[in-house]
Structure 1
């Protein structure tokens, strides 16, 4: 019986003599790093790399079935979900892997910034990391488009409208992105090429360069207060620290990376099994305009920001803020490449991270329900609270029925029950006169559509009369200009009889 161990050694030597890859790979795995880097804070880079490999494998499996055409994309996903064994599971792993990868890359970038690892001599490593984050977000966005459901269709339409605002070349950019003036078959082909070939190719090349620079320059040591980065002495001090406290990366430091990566894989699988794949939602239909496109989780904050911005500020914020933000990240190591690394000596950096994290969290939370995706937990079957019907005339009670039957409470709340898309109606008559309520109902405004054609005159009158009784603890709103005119007419005409003063509003 042949010696399997000896046979394996001979096979390895055969390949090694021709490729010469074994020695450098072993040397890279066993290179020494400061013992302080054997920390759970240093596992995010390797975790992101493992998730990337998972995305490549699942992406290849999905590409074998997915049809990148406007007529077949949606149905091919339905076929994957329902007709291929474990097709839904592969889709779910790919979708949740995308979310986990964006999260890990973001955390890794924050950790690098907090630990001052962008400083000399790792400036270029940081710059490449910024591009890796942008490419990861690009992968997430193009992946959402490939679902080609209602969310993807209208979300892409919003993205095209934003791109069209670029001065001078906006129209040409939209044509390049969509493959023409409208969303059609060429659009999906282009996004498929971006998602499967272009972005992954650049991403893999940059990951390889990033890993090479980490191996060449070493892993950033644990920052210590008072340990200043000086370009003249840092490299010498780093090598001295490595010689004094160095440990081989494999196995002394890598075991934590391995455990973290395994935990992330298990978390992705658990989410895939419990939550299932993302979409597809309804089949894309450009004739359905009463829709509320909802982007994937990591883009919700952007939609919330756009929703709350005044229209005249949208374009400047869209094209100035991102350029300034990305530019500041890329130039950061150039202008702050020396000095303290420890976060306790860099309060401005800590404050900046805190403010950005809180802002993103708040806008993401708002993006889950306002203003395009209201929380609709008060449907037509839910009755108007009885307290709002006491001492109401028959006409006003008819207005309450109109409010209920026309599903106004999907967007507006009364008594704390209802949607959050529009303002609460508990005290609407304390802020708006009857004429203003009529105008708002008929003509709309802000985020509210016009309902002039959806209600007949009697329904409109009843609805407004009911709303006019809702002023809460406030006094009913009055039209000050009309009251002034009436007062002027009554005092200037010698034939007019005296009128009692009144504060009754509409």
Structure 2
């Protein structure tokens, strides 16, 4: 029997040589692994980029396994997640790893962006590295949002409705964008199919392509050196100075700098696994049903700050903020290396940059925290924990009393207080009849407006009529009910004040 070893070595060495002669990867891999980097970059501050890459790989791997079971249809999506949670061995853990991996990935990417900004690593010649990173952040947030929708539970359904209403505010093309997003005028099975394609194919493919370009640029331009006060970035001298630093005071990336990346990435994966085991997966909550409004469609934590800001803004400011603020933020991030690509990198010499980062971090943290408990959030047990005050039922007709029942049964008091009890998300209803006319009440309830969603599909015509009739009685005795003054048009085209007595005669109108 011939020996496996021959003149060219063992069989696996011959196999390796056969493959290498055809793909020729050994040279580029060695160049990437052994390229010199400044010794100062072997720091724990430089580990967030590699951790982001490891978390992306985790998301791709767990996402592929989940896609083998998940059914992207309105009729089966919720059920397939229940199967993963309860029927398949460790299916719940797989979902939890994917969900918590998403949270960790968003957090680590944000920290990495903050570290790059603080260290001035966006300056020449790494402007494109930063710009690609900005779009990678957007793709990461897109992955997080579309993944939340794929849970397709009660919260995801209502959250998607809110997202569609936001997109519908875009001038001129808002309707077309909503139709493109939802696959039709309403949330349906086509909606879930589109989000599945976005989450599994479009966004991950774009993100992987951007990641490959990002890593390639980092390898070619080198890792940013530690920012030292007085070390000025100049376009005509920086590349030469960096190469001198990397060769005179540098170490090979492997193993000199990579070991800290490996240790930190392993710690992050361990933290994801611990959170997955301890807290389990996200949802799914109740089966999506548009007639059930007893839900809190809050987004996941990385979008909570938007939820807070929109809730505090007056209604007339919401649309300008939604349409302008994101565009301005992206433009600023993309333009940053183009307008501030040279000069000092050290944070000791860049107080404006440090203050800006601290201000954004404090605002983001405060708004996110407020989004978890603020008093204007719906009080979801208000409808069952507090009855309609008896004095607000006294003297009402049977139809008006039926409206009070609708007020309770449809959980209107989750957001609106009555008699001092109930939610504080919307205005109190004790004096609502002094502010809104009958037509305005119908419009607000059925079509929504401001921060209030439309409930036309959740109420029957009889329920809507009864509810409006009851709300029309909610005005203190010393205040008249709101009236539409345009109904009291006199003969010369003028208007008369509400509560005036109007008499109509032959060809004329008189006002007393």
Q: Specify the SS of the correspondent of 2:69.
A: coil
Contact residue 292 and residue 372 of structure 1 kept, 8 A: no
Contact residue 293 and residue 372 of structure 1 kept, 8 A: no
Q: Specify the SS of the correspondent of 2:297.
A: coil
1:471 aligns with none
| Structure 2 residue 95 is the aligned partner of structure 1 residue 91 | yes
1:203 aligns with 207
| Structure 2 residue 108 is the aligned partner of structure 1 residue 104 | yes
Return the match for 1:282 from 279, 286, 291. Answer: 286
Q: 1:223-372 residue pairs with structure 2 within 5 A?
A: 223-370=227-374
Q: 1:447-468 CA deviation, whole Å, 9 max, x = no partner?
A: 79999957998x999x999xx9
| Structure 2 residue 49 is the aligned partner of structure 1 residue 57 | no
Q: When the two structures are superposed, what TM-score results if normalisation uses the length of structure 1?
A: 0.78
- Tell me: CA distance 1:65–1:372, structure 2 relative to 1, closer, same or farther (3 Å): farther
Q: Specify the SS of the correspondent of 1:180.
A: coil
Return the match for 1:179 from 180, 183, 187. Answer: 183
Contact residue 59 and residue 94 of structure 1 kept, 8 A: yes
- Tell me: CA distance 1:176–1:83, structure 2 relative to 1, closer, same or farther (3 Å): same
1:213 aligns with 217
Contact residue 376 and residue 424 of structure 2 kept, 8 A: no
Offset at 1:309? 1.3
Return the match for 1:166 from 166, 170, 177. Answer: 170
1:150 aligns with 154
Offset at 1:157? 1.0
- Tell me: CA distance 1:7–1:417, structure 2 relative to 1, closer, same or farther (3 Å): farther
Separation in structure 1 between the aligned mates of residue 70 and residue 220 of structure 2, nearest angstrom: 40
Q: 1:346-393 CA deviation, whole Å, 9 max, x = no partner?
A: 11111111111111112111222347744668896799xxxxxxxxxx
Offset at 1:289? 3.5
Q: When the two structures are superposed, what TM-score results if normalisation uses the length of structure 2?
A: 0.77
- Tell me: CA distance 1:419–1:344, structure 2 relative to 1, closer, same or farther (3 Å): farther
- Tell me: CA distance 1:73–1:460, structure 2 relative to 1, closer, same or farther (3 Å): same
- Tell me: CA distance 1:165–1:228, structure 2 relative to 1, closer, same or farther (3 Å): same
Offset at 1:195? 0.8
- Ranges in structure 1 where 5+ consecutive residues have no aligned partner: 384-393, 426-431, 469-477, 480-506
1:387 aligns with none
Offset at 1:205? 0.8
Return the match for 2:19 from 15, 19, 33. Answer: 15
- Tell me: CA distance 1:170–1:371, structure 2 relative to 1, closer, same or farther (3 Å): farther
Q: 1:187-225 CA deviation, whole Å, 9 max, x = no partner?
A: 111111111111111111110110000000000000001
Offset at 1:14? 1.5
Separation in structure 2 between the aligned mates of residue 174 and residue 241 of structure 1, nearest angstrom: 53
Contact residue 371 and residue 447 of structure 1 kept, 8 A: no
Q: 1:411-440 CA deviation, whole Å, 9 max, x = no partner?
A: 6999x99866479x9xxxxxx9x8x48858
Return the match for 1:43 from 42, 47, 53. Answer: 47
- Tell me: CA distance 1:419–1:316, structure 2 relative to 1, closer, same or farther (3 Å): closer
Separation in structure 2 between the aligned mates of residue 226 and residue 181 of structure 1, nearest angstrom: 59
Q: Specify the SS of the correspondent of 1:118.
A: coil
- Tell me: CA distance 1:146–1:380, structure 2 relative to 1, closer, same or farther (3 Å): closer
2:401 aligns with none
Q: Which sits farther off after the overlay, 363-372 or 136-145? A: 363-372
Separation in structure 1 between the aligned mates of residue 169 and residue 451 of structure 2, nearest angstrom: 21
Separation in structure 1 between the aligned mates of residue 272 and residue 259 of structure 2, nearest angstrom: 20
2:84 aligns with 80
Contact residue 294 and residue 373 of structure 1 kept, 8 A: no
Separation in structure 2 between the aligned mates of residue 73 and residue 127 of structure 1, nearest angstrom: 36
Q: 1:466-481 residue pairs with structure 2 within 5 A?
A: none
Q: Which sits farther off after the overlay, 223-232 or 437-446? A: 437-446
User: Cα RMSD between the aligned structures?
Assistant: 3.7
- Ranges in structure 2 where 5+ consecutive residues have no aligned partner: 395-403, 456-463, 480-512
Q: 1:288-342 CA deviation, whole Å, 9 max, x = no partner?
A: 2443212111111111111111111111111111111100110111110000001
Separation in structure 2 between the aligned mates of residue 177 and residue 41 of structure 1, nearest angstrom: 39
Q: Specify the SS of the correspondent of 1:368.
A: helix
Offset at 1:46? 0.4
Return the match for 2:30 from 12, 22, 26. Answer: 26
